[in-house]
Structure 1
């Protein structure tokens, strides 16, 4: 039996549940992190929004960003003892409509009607790789990042039981969204050991390109994870 963590981007699974992933793999449980939105755009053009984010990350081209972040992800997965698998759907900052117009100029928006088929396409890609006894973990969509919401919708189309985790660090900025996102669900907290917490921090810091934007500094990243784990008593999961 594998545990499959559906990660919208190349960092989300480690951010949300890295400590528990480490403890699972140390206990001999096979864990895979499937990152959905990490494909290579066909065009070299960038939207103004993508250019802004690239500048924040210290990278120029989309190929450089995706390649660099995939390397970071493999490193983080190794720290956690998990296997990384990368899908080819595009991050929202690279997606274009049929007329070539850029679709998104913010990440905290509802999925556009023109992408109504995207969750179904993602669900099909996931389903083709699943085994009958796989356990699936998905982010709740706290913060309402368009890609997180889209991946949750895709996961819910699979018709399988799901474990949900809170979206870190968006939970810190949008705590009021947790209650409606978990309405009707049962909560279970998995306690994370000391070595798991250390590995969690190390794995998150492997995403060097993202730390300045997400946490400002490595020290703040460590502190945020420490406080989250301590306050929650580990990694909280929810099930319907």
Structure 2
């Protein structure tokens, strides 16, 4: 029995309208088999992704402004965007003089937590446990190699939307490690033993991060809200570098892990970390909020759209006038974080 094209994966409730200077970027989830196309494993109507549009599809790589296409092609790209097949990267920004380095336990963590800041200030994302296969979608659960490739492809698209650099360290996600796959959320009293439980891995992660943070003006580290072992190990590796003197306190601040901070207590976690951590609300603009939401759309294998919308709503309720995100500063880094928080639309 032939499959009927489904609109299921192509529902997008919060599209950001394409502007003339936006750079459309195709999502990596499309598969082509002759005249047939699938997206997220489901058939797509031929009039949405017709074979004769292959050249237009391939050209949506984030380098070409929307206004540069002829009108019929713009109309088609607009339909792709409304259906969620492509996302809109804003025009390139001027490179900031002081951009943060964000230590992201997995692909998507930096963007979920700090997408607005990255949209405004640029920077570089360092993915630590970037070899992963977990997905909530049955089609990809039976295709782990494809899932692994697509999860990284999603990350590259999101970084393109935000205009940030990306470094992929390639360590294996807890869900794919024999030692952790059945128990990768830790209670607070077990967090101190996380590094000792996987000493060789912890040593490699710490060494890799030492090289990545060298020379960075400001390094943003996950608090570890929620207790995911990979978030805890990333945080502990950064703290180890502080103890060794390979990373100075004036260059370190922490961020609230998302979506865990929606239902767990970031204040309690901060209270268990180095003395003197203080919250700093980093205001953003509505444009930054919309760009963050646009950058989160590519994460289709793991992240629900309802979660991304809730994260943005959380940012709008942090007490600032409009959208914001929150960092936690050490006494030594308070000045650098305050400077970041007070910067204008471009840091």
TM-score range normalised by the length of the shorter chain: 0.7 to 0.9
> Which structure has the larger Rg over C-alpha atoms?
2
Deviation at 1:58, TM superposition (A): 3.5
**Which position in structure 2 is the counterpart of 1:204?**
296
CA distance in 2, matches of 1:19, 1:2: 13
Return the offset for 1:54: 4.1
Deviation at 1:112, TM superposition (A): 7.0
CA 1:187–1:144 in 2, change beyond 3 Å: closer, same or farther?
Answer: same
Per the TM alignment, residue 231 of structure 1 is displaced from its structure 2 partner at its CA by 1.1
Q: Report the alpha carbon displacement of residue 228 of structure 1 after superposing the two structures with TM.
A: 1.0
Deviation per residue, 1:18-64 (Å, 9 max, x gap): 01110113xxxxx0111000137xxxxxxxxx7xx445464134322
Q: Does 2:221 align with 1:221?
A: no
| SS of equivalent residue, structure 1 residue 182 | helix
Structure 1 unaligned runs (5+)?
A: 26-30, 41-49, 97-101, 213-217
Unmatched runs of 5 consecutive residues or more in structure 2: 1-97, 331-347
Q: Is the 8 A contact 1:165 1:238 kept in 2?
A: yes
Pairwise CA RMSD: 2.0
Q: Which runs of structure 2 are paired with 1:11-90 in the superposition (5 Å)?
A: 11-25=108-122, 31-39=123-131, 53-54=134-135, 56=137, 58-59=139-140, 60-90=142-172
Please report how far the alpha carbon of residue 4 of structure 1 lies from its aligned counterpart in structure 2 after TM superposition.
Answer: 0.7
* Greater RCO, 1 or 2 (C-alpha within 8 Å, sep 6+): 1
Q: 1:65 to 1:84 in 2, by over 3 A?
A: same
CA shift, 1:87, in A, is 0.7
Distance 2:158 2:285 in 1: 18
> What is the rounded CA distance, in whole Å, between the counterparts of 1:155 and 1:165 in structure 2?
13
**Partner residue in 2 for 1:235:** 325
Task: Identify the match of residue 264 of structure 2 among 167, 174, 179.
Answer: 174
Supply the distance in 2 between the matched residues of 1:139 and 1:131 (Cα, whole angstroms): 18
Per-residue deviation at 1:186? Answer: 1.4
Cα displacement string for residues 154-204 of structure 1 (whole angstroms, at most 9, x for unaligned residues)? 1111222321111111111213xx222212311211101111000111111
* Count of equivalent residues: 211
What is residue 174 of structure 2 aligned with on the other side?
92
**Equivalent-residue separation in structure 2 for 1:164 and 1:57 (angstroms):** 35
In 2, Cα distance between the equivalents of 1:85 and 1:57? Answer: 29
SS at match of 1:33: strand
Q: CA deviation at 1:229?
A: 1.1
Match of 2:37 in 1: none
Inter-partner Cα distance in structure 1 for 2:176 and 2:206? 20
Q: What aligned pairs does 1:127-206 form with structure 2 within 5 A after superposition? A: 127-159=210-242, 160=247, 161=249, 162-175=252-265, 178-183=266-271, 184-206=276-298
CA 1:106–1:134 in structure 2 vs 1: closer, same or farther (change >3 Å)?
A: same
Q: 1:200 to 1:123 in 2, by over 3 A?
A: same
- Give the superposition deviation at 1:226: 2.8
CA contact (8 A) 2:135 2:301 kept: no
Q: What TM-score, normalized to structure 2?
A: 0.57
